[in-house]
């Protein structure tokens, strides 16, 4: 069964645009869980433009009694304050994502040229703390082999290239999706779990869910955007139905 982890960052974006606590991120977390999502994802950035440190701590407390049934995934670049927060909270999973200064959203996964010594040490310390480590990578053989060398438990395949190819369709979609299949098969052969995320939505997920060995998808922007029109409970149900959960 493919797990749906709902990224609630965009709820915090709306809240932060006005101040106070409306909409309540914690209420969004509750609705997602009560509707059947088995994962919650957050990405606390250095500028705190959406999810804040306080949000992470509050969500962690809410999820603590549900630890056996709902996973908490914290994404982010491995800067010192992010690492300290992750080690404090001890989520089920830490997803390490490269960040480019000034970016609006993630633009790429880690490449095989990323310095290895620091990453290996970071991954090792997280795993020693009992935290599963996923590295956000390009869907290509070399970055996946690099992730294995870094000691990761999983890779999260960067899916924006797939989403753009899906929009165009035809031979481009077929060729692009084949690259993801090759990437997934390699990761599985290397005993890496497989997650995926970035620009997945109800339309393109209908194909992507057939990716071999796929364990988890993390979806935020498309899910929360649709929830504005049909409601969060309804849209979580829609995604669970597509995933066959």
Sites in the chain below the pLDDT cut of 70: 101-108
- Residue 107's pLDDT is 64
- Residue 3's pLDDT is 98
Q: Give the domain extent around 239.
A: 3-243
pLDDT in tens, 122-166: 999 999 999 999 999 999 999 999 999 999 999 999 999 999 999
Residues with active-site annotation: 43, 75, 198
Indicate the number of domains in the chain: 1
Mark out the alpha helices in the chain (DSSP H runs).
9-18, 25-35, 53-63, 80-89, 116-128, 141-150, 160-168, 170-189, 202-208, 221-230, 232-243
CATH code where residue 66 lies: 3.20.20.70
d(CA 35, CA 37): 6
**Residue 156 and residue 137 in contact, taking contact as beta carbons nearer than 8 Å:** yes
pTM above the 0.85 mark? Answer: yes
Question: Nearest 5 degrees, angle CA 152-CA 33-CA 22?
Answer: 105
- Residue 241's pLDDT is 97
- Residue 114's pLDDT is 82
Instruction: Tell me how far CA of residue 56 lies from CA of 145, 178, 204, in angstroms.
Output: 31, 37, 29
Nearest to 217 by CA among 146, 144, 147, 163: 163
- Residue 48's pLDDT is 86
């Amino acid at each position: 069964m493919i797990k749906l982890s709902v990224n609630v960052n965009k709820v915090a974006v709306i809240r932060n645009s006005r101040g106070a606590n409306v909409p309540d991120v914690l209420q969004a977390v509750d609705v997602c869980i009560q509707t059947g999502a088995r994962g919650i994802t957050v990405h606390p950035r250095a500028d705190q433009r959406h999810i804040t440190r306080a949000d992470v701590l509050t969500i962690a407390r809410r999820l603590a009694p549900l630890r056996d049934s709902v996973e908490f995934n914290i994404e982010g670049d491995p800067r010192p304050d992010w690492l300290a927060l992750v080690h404090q909270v001890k989520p089920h999973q830490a997803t390490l994502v490269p960040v480019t200064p000034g970016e609006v959203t993630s633009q790429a996964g880690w490449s095989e040229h990323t310095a290895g010594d620091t990453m290996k040490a970071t991954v090792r310390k997280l795993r020693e703390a009992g935290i599963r480590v996923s590295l956000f990578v390009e869907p290509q053989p070399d970055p996946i082999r690099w992730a294995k060398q870094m000691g990761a438990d999983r890779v999260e395949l960067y899916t924006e290239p797939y989403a753009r190819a899906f929009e165009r369709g035809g031979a481009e979609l077929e060729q692009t999706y084949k690259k993801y299949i090759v990437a997934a098969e390699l990761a599985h052969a290397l005993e890496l779990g497989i997650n995926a995320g970035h620009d997945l939505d109800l339309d393109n997920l209908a194909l992507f869910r057939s990716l071999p060995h796929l364990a988890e998808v993390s979806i935020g922007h498309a899910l929360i955007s649709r929830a504005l029109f049909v409601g969060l409970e309804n849209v979580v149900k829609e995604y669970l139905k597509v995933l066959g959960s």
